Amino acid sequence: MYGADAGVLEIEKAAIEQLAPAVQELSYVASSELPTPWATFGIHVFVEAATGKEHLMLTLGDVNNGEPVLARVHSECLTGDALFSQRCDCGAQLETAIKAIATEGRGALLYMRQEGRGIGLVNKIRAYQLQDAGADTVEANEQLGFPADMRRYDLCKPMLDHFGIASLRLMTNNPRKVSTLESLGVPVVERIPIQVNRNPFNENYLSTKAAKLGHWLKEHL
């Protein structure tokens, strides 16, 4: 298992208990096919009743056969995922994960609508402005009055349950994703690093992830 220490897990459990009513309001809505350059995935949409946010899940192959599933939990990043921003590694991680699942022929990608580590697109661009003036990503969020990271991973549990996915081989560098999922009863039997697209524009971003958020990142790729 790839978990955190007991103190971190207790904090995660307390947060999950506080958010439990919202989790129960996540509803499955519809499914279709999504052809991509690498494979044709199933695409499934869930709606969070309290906020109206629409979370997506891509699946490929038989994901409920009891075997651990190759998976990525990916938080929305319009600038990186759709506009090819080099300020982060998000778009490259998304493409790498989709390709890996396609190559394996089986897996799941959860696309969570929590832009800018949960602060939303407008505040994310405000944070960019502060970063342009010298703040790092954590300092920028805090200067705007937000925690360093407001993302939720408890919402993943009902999405995984809907498809009978019991355990994961998780593509991530983020210890908080792992500890939250495991505290929810979703074993992460393997953590697969997904360190891609380090470049001069995101060097400070990645270094801050490692130094202040504890992400498992090597200094050089």
- Which residues fall in the annotated binding site for Zn(2+)? 77, 88, 90
Catalytic residue among 149, 154, 191, 198: 149
Annotation says 106 is catalytic = no
151 is catalytic: yes
Beta bridge partners of 30: 45
Provide the annotated binding site for GTP: 72-76, 93, 115-117, 137, 172, 177
From the candidates 81, 136, 151, 191, which is the catalytic residue? 151
Burial class (CB in 10 A: 0-12, 13-18, 19+), 47: middle
Residues with catalytic annotation?
149, 151
